[in-house]
């Protein structure tokens, strides 16, 4: 079995090598050159169209350079395709075409290479307008300088073309050395670790493309120096590398265009979401405005007339009337608190609340709250362990709301025991802890505690009052101070709220 297999593999390898040489030998003929240049012309035309279409959407220098580069390649391949078509189909002799064709081909190719290499190098120099301008000026100087050299080469070639073929002339060597020089610098520049980060994830592909293109000038220069450009093997080896290089460049260009198209799509979706959020925000502001003006006025009238009823201004109240009136009074107070909380939260969410930062003694701020008297009535001990000298940079009025909401929340769910205020200060900031010995909160409900209108008690069994906005407001105020808030709780053992305010 092995004896039969190995000759088969050897035969396959031999045939493959022969096929490779036959294909590239064909590409070295006039007919092969026609086919190769026609295919390259079609490829460069498609790429040029893609780049121009993209440039019409986004005017960027890199795209402009790539368009100039691939357009030059397209024009070069078009001229050569037409020339070889006349040679193949119209029986025009090759020497008549060779007077100008080699120079035109090399000139357009090298100009294209200058623009393509500069398109991939431009991100390294676009940090400032000055460096970008210098880079652009240097590129145009290269083009002008090269055109002068190409003109001299053309005059030289016109005088010697009857005696030697182009591949054996000094003009040919000069063009190959120029190609080698043009493509050596980008490899060194892009391979720098700092520059790799700027170029991005396509840096490796770009370096491979440059290195592939370098192979052809290296083979051609070796062939010129050692074999007077007569080595068929070196000519065949050099043939595929320029096309392979350009295919790598096209791959990078294609993926960049696809990435930009994807990014545009994402930006479009983001823009739509932004417009929707903006519309919702405007509706919310309109609602808040309505709440502010339309609900507060009748609520004020209700509270006024309730006060007059309690004072007996409309006649003495009977025992049965006092209870409903008291209930209406409590509910109107609750509605008033809800309106105030909605307005406060809307202002915080809209980021229209300005901070007026000043140095405040935290111990005194806690002692100023009105809930100390309420705690005495419920026989709950309030312990303020915060050092009297401890100071914090905060908006006093806003942070007072944080203390009030956390204090009232602790009172609401504590029937006996104590409420303790502690604070620790370090280089990062101050952490305030509010600890109660109340009924605690189920751990499954802790993640939702700062959500709007969320209440830890179930709706049907809720005994405590509240709007469900207090802790949401606390979180917004803390975040406005660039701080964080967290909660720890255990049923029947109490709850701890921790507020961190950075320095």
CATH value at residue 203: 1.20.1070
User: pLDDT, tens digit, for every residue of 268-308?
Assistant: 777 888 788 777 767 766 776 676 667 777 777 787 878 88
Res. 2 pLDDT band, cuts 50 70 90: very low
Query: In the predicted model, is pLDDT for residue 4 greater than 50?
Result: no
Q: What is the extent of the structural domain holding 368?
A: 357-502
For residues 41 and 108, give the distance between their C-alpha atoms in angstroms, rounded to a whole number: 13
Task: Assess whether 345 and 361 both reside in one domain.
Answer: no
Q: Cα–Cα distance between 494 and 411 in angstroms, integer?
A: 11
Residue 384 has pLDDT above 70, yes or no: yes
Q: Are 187 and 297 within one domain? A: no
Distance CA 190, CA 197 (A): 9
In a domain, 143, yes or no: yes
Contact 235, 247 (CB under 8 A): no
At 143-188, the pLDDT tens digits run: 898 889 888 988 888 888 888 888 888 999 999 998 888 888 888 8
Same domain for 336 and 230: no
Does 297 lie in the same domain as 177?
no
Mean of pLDDT values over 88-111: 79
Residues 6+ apart with CB under 8 A from 50: 253, 254, 257
DSSP assignment of 155-218 equals HHHHHHTTTS-GGGSHHHHHHHHHHHHHHHHHHHHHTSHHHHHHH-TTHHHHHHHHHHHHHHHH
In tens, the pLDDT along 206-255 reads: 888 888 888 889 999 999 999 988 888 888 788 788 878 888 888 888 77
Task: Say if residue 457 is in the same domain as residue 400.
Answer: yes
90 close to 57: Cβ distance less than 8 angstroms: no
Residues 84-98, mean pLDDT to the nearest whole number: 74
Tell which residue, 67, 51, 153, 64, has the closest CA to residue 107: 153
In a domain, 301, yes or no: yes
Name the pTM for this structure.
0.52
Q: Looking at the 3D structure of the chain, how many domains does it have?
A: 3
> What is the residue-averaged pLDDT of the chain?
81
Span 391-420, average pLDDT: 87
Beta partners for 488? 496
pLDDT at 13 over 80: no
Say whether both 186 and 43 belong to one domain: yes
Of 297, 328, 349, which one is at a domain's C-terminal end?
349
The pLDDT, as a whole number, for residue 436 is 92
426 and 460 both lie in a single domain? yes
Residue 72 has pLDDT above 60, yes or no: yes
Number of neighbours of residue 440 by Cβ within 10 angstroms: 18
Query: 461 pLDDT exceeds 80?
Result: no
- Asked if 439 and 409 touch (Cβ cutoff 8 Å), the reply is no
What is the dihedral sign for C-alpha 164, 170, 175, 179? Answer: positive
Boundary (domain end) residue, out of 189, 216, 238: 238
Backbone torsions φ then ψ of 463, nearest 5 degrees: -110, -30
The answer on 182 and 123 residing in a single domain is yes
Same domain, 153 and 227: yes
In order of 261, 313, 431, 447, the CA distances from 500 in angstroms are 43, 51, 4, 18
Q: Does 153 fall in a domain?
A: yes
Least confident of 110-114, 442-446, 460-464: 460-464
Query: Is residue 462 helix, strand or coil?
Result: coil
Domain end among 349, 376, 406: 349
CB–CB of 168/228 below 8 Å?
yes
Residues 185 and 327 in one domain: no
Paired with 425 in beta bridges are 430
Same domain, 20 and 152: yes
- Say what the pLDDT of residue 498 is: 93
Residue 370 belongs to a domain with what CATH number?
A: 3.30.565.10
Quick one: 469 and 337 in the same domain?
no
């Amino acid at each position: 079995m092995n004896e039969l297999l190995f000759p088969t593999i050897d035969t396959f390898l031999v045939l493959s090598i022969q096929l490779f040489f036959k294909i590239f030998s064909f590409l070295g003929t006039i007919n092969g050159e026609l086919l190769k240049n026609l295919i390259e012309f079609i490829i460069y035309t498609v790429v040029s169209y893609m780049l121009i279409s993209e440039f019409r959407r986004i005017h960027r220098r890199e795209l402009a350079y790539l368009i100039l580069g691939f357009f030059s390649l397209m024009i070069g391949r078009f001229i050569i395709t037409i020339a070889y078509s006349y040679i193949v189909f119209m029986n025009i002799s090759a020497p008549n075409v060779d007077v100008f064709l080699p120079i035109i081909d090399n000139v357009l190719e090298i100009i294209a290479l200058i623009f393509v290499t500069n398109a991939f190098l431009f991100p390294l120099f676009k940090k400032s307008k000055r460096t970008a301008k210098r880079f652009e000026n240097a590129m145009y100087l290269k083009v002008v300088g090269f055109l002068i050299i190409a003109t001299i080469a053309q005059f030289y070639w016109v005088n010697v073309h009857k005696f030697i073929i182009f591949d054996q002339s000094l003009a040919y060597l000069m063009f190959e050395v120029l190609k080698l020089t043009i493509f050596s610098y980008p490899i060194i520049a892009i391979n720098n670790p700092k520059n790799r980060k700027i170029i991005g994830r396509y840096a490796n592909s770009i370096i491979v493309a440059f290195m592939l293109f370098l192979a052809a000038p290296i083979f051609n220069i070796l062939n010129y120096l050692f074999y007077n450009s007569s080595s068929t093997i070196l000519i065949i080896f050099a043939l595929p590398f320029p096309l392979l290089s350009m295919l790598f460049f096209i791959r990078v260009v294609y993926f960049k265009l696809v990435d930009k198209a994807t990014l545009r799509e994402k930006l479009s979706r983001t823009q739509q979401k932004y417009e929707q959020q903006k519309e919702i925000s405007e509706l919310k502001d309109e609602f808040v405005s309505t709440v502010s003006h339309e609900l507060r006025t009748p609520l004020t009238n209700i509270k006024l007339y309730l006060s007059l009823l309690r004072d007996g201004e409309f006649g003495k109240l009977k025992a049965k009337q006092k209870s409903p009136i008291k209930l209406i009074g409590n509910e109107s107070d609750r509605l008033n608190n809800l309106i105030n909380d909605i307005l406060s939260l809307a202002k915080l969410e809209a980021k229209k609340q300005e901070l007026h930062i000043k140095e405040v003694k935290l111990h005194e701020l806690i002692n100023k709250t009105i809930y100390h008297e309420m705690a005495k009535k419920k026989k709950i001990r309030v312990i303020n362990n915060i050092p009297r000298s401890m100071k914090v940079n905060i908006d006093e009025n806003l942070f007072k709301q944080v203390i009030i909401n956390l204090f009232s929340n602790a009172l609401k769910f504590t029937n006996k025991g104590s409420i303790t205020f502690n604070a620790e200060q370090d280089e990062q900031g101050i952490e305030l802890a509010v600890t109660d010995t109340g009924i605690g909160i189920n751990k499954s409900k802790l993640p939702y505690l700062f959500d709007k209108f969320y209440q830890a008690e179930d709706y049907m069994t809720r005994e405590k009052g509240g709007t469900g906005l207090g802790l949401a407001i606390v979180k917004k105020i803390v975040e406005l101070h660039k701080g964080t808030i967290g909660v720890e709780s255990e049923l029947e053992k109490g709850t701890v709220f921790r507020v961190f305010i950075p320095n």
